[in-house]
Amino acid sequence: MIQSVLTFAAKWYCKGPAGPDIQQLMNAVVSFMLNRLQESDIKLLRVFFAVASCNGFTAAEPVLRMQRPNISAAIKKLEERLDLILCQRGRGGFQLTKEGEVVYQETKRIFNTFDNFVFNLKSLHDDYSGHITLVVQSSLSASIMAAVAKAVKSTMNKFDDIHVNIQTRQYQDIEHVALSGECHLVLSCYDLVKPESVNFNAINSAVTGKLYCAKSHILAKVQDLKEINLEEFPAVGMSGLSSGNYVRNGKRLSVKTWSDCWESCRSAILTGEYIGLLPDYLVTAEMAEYIVPVAQQQFYFEHQLYVLNGKNVRLNPVLKHCIKELSWFIEQASAGVKPHPKPSLAAVS
């Protein structure tokens, strides 16, 4: 039964872009696997998960404490069980197939859910050992990621036998991850309407940015937005951002294409064909040779940082300490970053 369900789900998924019906199917597959998987299946999936996470058989050997022939045999057996080719291996290197990517993502969800269950169950007995999962928004600055590392280290030093799984997600996936129970905590910006089923622990820090264009763009020399109609110039947008980000002081961006992360937005801007919003930390000294802000700080954004958790997550002492440490270290890292000036009421009207 598991073989037929997973085979059908993976092949259906690979026929086209994911939509609501496909997501429902994936949820059903996860539920089915949690209920019906045998112990031997779980062992095989853990081997596959380690290999996929390490991006290769050799790199997975110390993690699994297994010899490569044994790892290869386990992957082959799993492929036979699922009737799927999960990965390509050979001279070209290791690479997941489309079906393998689906199985990997769903396996990650299963293990995250199971680890969260075990951790929460232990905490009911005041046993705070185990794994916690922290999801971090992709494309955050190096200083914020360094602060995350310090907070994780502090948490692991305070509590014995605690391990922290750090994962990243794109901005548009943050709300789903917080609601799904796949993780304990999420560190991210958030500028949408806040769902009632998620707790938002505000951090006294924000990601700031401006409207940028390539130096070759006609807007590169503009000093005042009052002189131009921004809607005449194609812009790149970032998936998941609220529409309010693209309007400032009566000026509206004309978004013609979309990217799923800030780095991709930057690449679109570098073509000289698009203008777009970027966090200031992505415009390094080297990048400033190619990208400039449009009219300085007249079109800007400021996104509050939060630590999110679903209200179904039990905030035991470990998680509370981790939230406190994330807030403190990030605020310290951001102490020297000045926010953009707030516009006057006259400018907004």
Burial state string for 238-254 with b = 16 or more CB within 10 A and e = fewer than 16: bebbeeebbebeebebe
- What dihedral do alpha carbons 103, 55, 181, 84 form, nearest 10°? 0
Same domain membership, residue 97 and residue 1: yes
Same domain membership, residue 6 and residue 121: yes
What is the β-pairing status of strands 130-137 and 185-189? Answer: parallel
Last residue of a domain, one of 79, 102, 127: 127
Domain that holds residue 242: 206-302
Same domain membership, residue 120 and residue 27: yes
Residue with tokens 């002492």: 317
Same domain membership, residue 117 and residue 12: yes
Closest CA to 231 of 259, 208, 256, 249: 256
Single-letter code of the amino acid located at 272: G
Last residue of a domain, one of 127, 148, 181: 127
> What 8-state DSSP symbol labels residue 275?
E
Does residue 132 fall inside a structural domain? no
Does residue 60 fall inside a structural domain? yes
User: What pLDDT shows up at residue 11?
Assistant: 53
The CATH number covering residue 83 comes to 1.10.10.10
Token code pair at residue 267: 């690449």
Residues 6+ apart with CB under 8 A from 4: none
Closest CA to 177 of 52, 314, 309, 324: 309
Rounded to the nearest angstrom, the gap between the alpha carbon of residue 29 and the centroid of all alpha carbons in its chain is 23
Does residue 181 fall inside a structural domain? no
Residues 6+ apart with CB under 8 A from 157: none
What's the number of domains the chain is made of?
A: 2
- For residue range 117-171, list pLDDT tens digits in order: 776 676 666 666 678 889 999 999 999 999 999 999 999 999 888 889 899 999 9
User: What pLDDT shows up at residue 195?
Assistant: 87
Does residue 147 fall inside a structural domain? no
DSSP H helical segments within 83-188, as ranges? 98-123, 142-158, 174-180
Residues 6+ apart with CB under 8 A from 95: 87, 88, 89
Q: What is the pLDDT along the chain (349 residues), one digit of tens a residue?
A: 445 445 545 554 555 544 444 444 445 555 555 555 677 888 899 899 889 888 888 888 888 888 989 999 999 999 998 888 999 887 777 889 999 988 888 888 777 777 767 766 766 666 666 788 899 999 999 999 999 999 999 999 998 888 898 999 999 888 888 887 778 999 999 888 888 889 999 999 999 999 999 999 999 999 998 888 999 999 999 998 999 999 988 899 999 999 999 999 999 999 999 999 999 999 999 999 999 999 988 999 999 999 999 887 888 889 999 999 999 999 999 875 444 444 433 333 3
Sign of CA dihedral 38, 39, 44, 45: positive
Strand partners, 95: 88
The answer to whether the pTM exceeds 0.75 is: no
- Asked if 322 and 151 count as a contact pair (C-beta separation under 8 A), the reply is yes
Query: How far apart, in whole angstroms, are the C-alpha atoms of residue 2 and residue 28?
Result: 12
Query: How far apart, in whole angstroms, are the C-alpha atoms of residue 267 and residue 200?
Result: 32
Does residue 341 fall inside a structural domain? no
Same domain membership, residue 123 and residue 1: yes
Query: How far apart, in whole angstroms, are the C-alpha atoms of residue 133 and residue 114?
Result: 11
Does residue 1 fall inside a structural domain? yes
Rounded to the nearest angstrom, the gap between the alpha carbon of residue 344 and the centroid of all alpha carbons in its chain is 34
Same domain membership, residue 219 and residue 118: no
Does residue 249 fall inside a structural domain? yes
Does residue 283 fall inside a structural domain? yes
- Asked if 5 and 82 count as a contact pair (C-beta separation under 8 A), the reply is no
Same domain membership, residue 101 and residue 214: no
Element (H, E) at 218: none
The CATH number covering residue 238 comes to 3.40.190.290
Between vectors from CA 236 to CA 147 and to CA 140, what angle results, nearest 5°?
Answer: 5
Last residue of a domain, one of 127, 154, 189: 127
Same domain membership, residue 120 and residue 1: yes
Q: CA end-to-end span of the chain, whole Å? A: 62
- For residue range 95-118, list pLDDT tens digits in order: 899 999 888 888 887 777 777 677
Same domain membership, residue 116 and residue 216: no
Query: How far apart, in whole angstroms, are the C-alpha atoms of residue 225 and residue 253?
Result: 12
Closest CA to 231 of 212, 253, 210, 215: 253
CB atoms inside a 10 Å sphere around CB 153 = 13
